[in-house]
Amino acid sequence: MLNALILTVVVLAGALLIWPRLANATLWRATITPLASIIGSGFLVLGPILDVNYGGYAPFIMLALCAIAYLFGSAIRFNIALIADGPKFSPLFERLELASSAVLAFAYFVSVSYYLNLFGSFGVSLTALNDNFHANMLTTAIFMLILTIGWMRGFKALELMEQVSVGLKLAIIAGLVFGLAVHFGEAVQTETLHFDPPKTTGWAAITLMAGLIVTVQGFETSRYLGVTYDAKMRIRSMKLAQWISTAIYIIYIIFLTYTFEADTLSLDETAIIDLMQIVAPILPLLLVAAALSAQFSAAIADTSGSGGLLTEVSKGKISEKLAYALLVGFGILITWTANIFEIISYASRAFAAYYAIQSSIAAIATAKRGDTWKAALFTTMAIIGAAIVVFGTPVE
């Protein structure tokens, strides 16, 4: 019965997402890109990581991550409005913008590795070849496929798959949350809810949280939709995407944290599959389908984005095809030399560097306008971003 209900929720959520009145609404179209990026791969790995390391305090850590992301988003939203105003920018502003683009291009390099390593892990998770070697082989093969497509046909060929995968992923997440809600309700009735003590505390807990910022990253994509949407719409849609993703993440973490004992969890990138098997047999299959489509489409989007940024930053000296080759070479190297939790930490630190520069730009601009409070806020966020770069650590 629960399997049937979960499938019904997935179908209804999918139908809602393709409902013309919603799908064609300008605000929703502008929101879906950052929303899909935020609730992407992080959703698959974050729950078990927080539960094992922070125990009953996991929802509060999740809330803190979302709050930090929202404040970083506020700096980027300020910069969207600043650029839209069209003033003459100083040489310092131009240099910071150039550095920001270069750092974001590198962050995309790491994030593509993150996405495709998850693709490899989930791709073999329900097979007899479920080990690191075969997961890495699958990841390497997908890297080569992306390079071939990028060189021969360009990424326009995969745009349709990217659009379909966004709806599929969000619909399956709706089914997952519904299944967890039922499981949570059963635990309430049987009085089996529990509050596990944290395993990671003090400074280690703070640096681990810093290394997880990439799991709530993705809102910055709104900044680069200027060709399609005006500044006001991009700012509004980024806020909406962050509020929706925060609500989903908090509900998900609460249901997970207080119904599953942390001691019973195996901490690996596909731990969520074992947990969902307990909730309903159909959920592992749905999660693998969501993971494969989501990671592949996200990797395509970030590969394309990094190619364009590198070409722009290098003023055409690095072609998009060369950028794709560099990304794939880097990705294959990191696949075979680092585990997924190390890659998550690297990606978090790369994006934190980008957020630190964006916050610095906002701090300088607000200081010049005499807005002391905002200048202090953005300066603080720049310091936090720099601290994440220096101190962020991977899950052990």
What CATH number corresponds to the domain at position 53? 1.20.1740.10
Q: How confident is the model at residue 34 (pLDDT cuts 50, 70, 90)?
A: confident
- The one-letter amino acid at 182: V
* Better-predicted residue by pLDDT, 158 or 145: 145
- The one-letter amino acid at 283: L
Q: What gap in Å lies between CA 271 and CA 47, rounded to an integer?
A: 9
Q: How confident is the model at residue 76 (pLDDT cuts 50, 70, 90)?
A: very high
pLDDT above 80 for 84: no
Q: What gap in Å lies between CA 297 and CA 218, rounded to an integer?
A: 14
Query: What's the pLDDT at 66?
Result: 94
pLDDT above 70 for 226: no
Query: What's the pLDDT at 157?
Result: 53
Q: How confident is the model at residue 311 (pLDDT cuts 50, 70, 90)?
A: confident
Please give the angle made by the CA atoms of 349, 74 and 362, to the nearest 5 degrees. Answer: 80
Is the dihedral angle over the CA atoms 281, 285, 291, 294 positive or is it negative? negative
Query: What's the pLDDT at 203?
Result: 92
Beta carbons of 221 and 73 less than 8 angstroms apart: no
Q: Average pLDDT in the 181-185 region? A: 91
Q: Average pLDDT in the 340-369 region? A: 89
* Better-predicted residue by pLDDT, 377 or 24: 377
* 226 in a structural domain: yes
- The encoded tokens of residue 391 equal 């101190």
Q: Which of 122, 166, 133 is nearest to 285 (CA)?
A: 122
pLDDT above 70 for 265: no
Longest dimension (CA), the chain: 65
Q: How confident is the model at residue 86 (pLDDT cuts 50, 70, 90)?
A: low
Residues whose CB falls within 8 Å of the CB of residue 5, separated by 6 or more in sequence, listed in order: 178, 182
Q: Average pLDDT in the 378-385 region? A: 95
User: What's phi and psi for 373, nearest 5 deg?
Assistant: -65, -50
* Better-predicted residue by pLDDT, 296 or 157: 296
* Better-predicted residue by pLDDT, 370 or 93: 370
Query: What's the pLDDT at 153?
Result: 64
The H-or-E segment that residue 79 falls in is: helix 58-85
Domain that holds residue 356: 1-391
Query: What's the pLDDT at 112?
Result: 85
Write down the mean pLDDT value for the chain: 85
3-class secondary-structure state, position 211: coil
Q: How confident is the model at residue 286 (pLDDT cuts 50, 70, 90)?
A: confident
Beta strands in the chain (DSSP E): none
* 214 in a structural domain: yes
Q: What gap in Å lies between CA 210 and CA 227, rounded to an integer?
A: 33
Q: What gap in Å lies between CA 345 and CA 394, rounded to an integer?
A: 5
* 396 in a structural domain: no
The size of the chain, in residues, is: 396
State pLDDT tens for residues 187-210: 899 888 888 899 899 999 999 998
Query: What's the pLDDT at 373?
Result: 93
DSSP assignment, residue 132?
Answer: H
Q: What gap in Å lies between CA 333 and CA 222, rounded to an integer?
A: 30
Q: What gap in Å lies between CA 81 and CA 58, rounded to an integer?
A: 35
Q: How confident is the model at residue 158 (pLDDT cuts 50, 70, 90)?
A: low
CA distances 307 to 14, 138, 155, 325, 328, Å, are: 32, 23, 11, 10, 11
Domain count, the chain: 1
DSSP assignment, residue 200?
Answer: S
Q: How confident is the model at residue 88 (pLDDT cuts 50, 70, 90)?
A: low
* 180 in a structural domain: yes
3-class secondary-structure state, position 396: coil
* 346 in a structural domain: yes
